[in-house]
Amino acid sequence: MLIIVESPTKARKIQSILKSKTMSTVGHFKDLPESSLGVDLSSYQPNFVYHDRKKDLPRELRKAAQGETVMLAGDPDREGYAISNHVFEEVHEVAKACLRLEIFEVTEKGLKEALARAVPFEKTNAGLYHAFLGRRVGDRLVGYLLSPQASRDLRGKFSVGRVQSPAVRLVVDREREIRAFVPAPYWVLSILLDKEGTRFSARHLRGKFEVQEEAQAIVEAIKGERFALAEKVQRRETRQSPKPPFTTVDLQAAAAARLKLPPEQTMRLAQALFEQGLITYHRTDSVRMADEFIAELRSFLTGTLGARYLPEKPNRFASKNSQAEAHEGIRPTHMHSLSEIATLISREGLTPEHARLYDLIFRRAVASQMAQAVYDATTLVFDVAGEKFKANGRVLKFDGFLKVYSDSEEEKEPRGEEDPLQALPEVAVGELVPKLGETLDEKKTKPPGRFTFGSLVKELERLEIGRPSTYASITKNITDRGYVREEKGKVVPLPPGETLVDYLREQHPWVIDYDLTRRMEGFLDLVVENKETWQRFCKGVHAKMGYAKPVERGEGGGPSEGQLRYARALAEKLKLELPESALKSGREISAWIDAAKNPAKPEPKKPAAGKTAARPARKTARGKKS
């Protein structure tokens, strides 16, 4: 038996457990060429080529697979299936048999279960590979045809992406919303009360006053009152439930909030934890945990914390995506005490950073099967000279899952003006409580908060843009390409990002249309289900670009349609003349755009009264790879 995986680390781990032959491809070993489009535009068939550093790998794979039962064990997702498919194409003629091996945890138990589930590769769902083809070819069409056009039109190096560009738009639009925000003042009226040495505040039931004079009039009306009459006393028990185990997106968001890790680093650390057999597969939409692990976890908790920290029945969570239920959420592969984490991580040759992420995953998974936290909540309503004031209090009665994991740090956005929670004394209806004074605080409305990388991936998930497995690469790409950067934990756009979004909004709005991007992802899901074809997906993407073709090297000529539209819009906006010569030369129109956008340079001439530039015949947008 020969097991072929993506990662050398995983290969070594599997070999040490099963004592079987293993090989690794070290990720993809063939892809579209870097120097050309690599796609037949009549059929959208890709021309995959071997990576320069892996040209000998196919021969090595065929040699090793000769007469063997080959287990194709790429990661259990579309990318992993694609790698397995490429290996299958190389070895199926020389191998005794080829089976698909989906490994969700690199442990002896997990590997044996995977081997028991292995099926002939020919009987697996080819829709996974077809969806990979659709995404890869579709993304190549967008990047290869639109990036050169944007670079030429904007006189710089710009990259357009089917998913990355909408992500940049999110950051740009949020920043502009913040810039345009005008704070509005409002006032909050509170009274300070004292019950036998316990001081607490009560807020006017109106909450916010937008007119200061109205609030001030109430202050004057109650100023002389020495007591507040308790009109309503409500005591109740409230419960807080634990959250489910991490999905990929939730892990990235929590790691960004708690550990200050960007998504790309989180996924790199999680990959190592998975390959060393410490956690289950980390690219998942599921929040399910195996019944066997839940039983192990409940037994462990009973022995360490006692039965009162367990719910009567295991907690069950529903995944957003019903197809995800075949997988599990991210969890540790076995139970142990928290004090063992450092030793466990060190034994596997990993770092303190891995330990911090593992601790987060471990706590979240354990807490998901613990009892609810219980609070005693109290609401008091007082009357002062006919004005109503409310005080809220909450006291933790039983910590439950909070003993292991509290998610309060993951609150990303302020939730507005809320009544403060405080310790409240015993008060009876009809009781007069001494009033010490009143306060009228002026506050201002706040703009929406900037994204963190964690909240950005959550927003991408909410809009159904991209897939959880791609979010880490998206955030890395838009950072590396200079479109956004992180400042004090927040994601802010850079000038090239704003320039690109403005250009795409004007010239190719479909690229940054959230709903269209979402529907494209939905189309790829239909391809996985064999209800649609990857070729139709690619044709749809290509149609959005007017079936454009790449410009061959050395081919010059007139301006692109995008340049013409952009230049005309700029001329109209700035009330400038667009010369006839510029309408016939891509180079000259680029120079005109540059001069129009940069006041320091000689400005284009303004048109004479009643004179406008002629409109040439419509041309098809073209572009070449820069």
User: Which sequence positions are flagged as catalytic?
Assistant: 281
Burial 245-281 (b: 16+ CB within 10 A, else e): bbbbbbbbbbbbbbbebbbbbbbebbbbbbbbbbbbb
**Of 42, 128, 140, 117, residue with least CA distance to 79:** 128
Is 620 buried (19+), middle (13-18) or exposed (0-12) by CB count in 10 A?
exposed
DSSP letter for 400, please.
G
**Four-CA torsion 531, 534, 535, 537, nearest 10 degrees:** 90
332 SS3 class: strand
**105 vs 280: CA distance, rounded Å:** 5
**Four-CA torsion 209, 211, 212, 218, nearest 10 degrees:** -60
| Packing angle, helices 78-91 and 127-154, rounded to 10 | 110
| Packing angle, helices 78-91 and 57-65, rounded to 10 | 70
Strands across the sheet containing 97-100: 21-24, 2-5, 69-72, 97-100, 119-120
Are 305 and 403 in contact by the 8 Å Cβ rule? The answer is yes
81 SS3 class: helix
**Of 70, 388, 9, residue with least CA distance to 230:** 388
Is 414 buried (19+), middle (13-18) or exposed (0-12) by CB count in 10 A?
exposed
Q: Using alpha carbons only, what angle is made at residue 322 by residues 316 and 325, rounded to the nearest 5 degrees? A: 55
Beta bridge partners of 189: 440
**Of 377, 160, 356, residue with least CA distance to 256:** 356
**450 vs 213: CA distance, rounded Å:** 33
**Of 285, 304, 272, residue with least CA distance to 369:** 304
Are 345 and 286 in contact by the 8 Å Cβ rule? The answer is no
DSSP H/E element including 237: strand 227-240
Beta strands at 421-422 and 387-398: parallel, antiparallel or unpaired: parallel
**474 vs 476: CA distance, rounded Å:** 5
Residue 47 to residues 125, 132, 495: CA-CA distances in angstroms? 22, 14, 36
DSSP 407-425: -GGG--S---S-PPEE---
Residue 589 to residues 184, 450, 548: CA-CA distances in angstroms? 45, 37, 20
DSSP H/E element including 147: helix 127-154
Main-chain phi, psi angles of 369, to 5 degrees: -110, 20
Residue with tokens 């000038």: 495
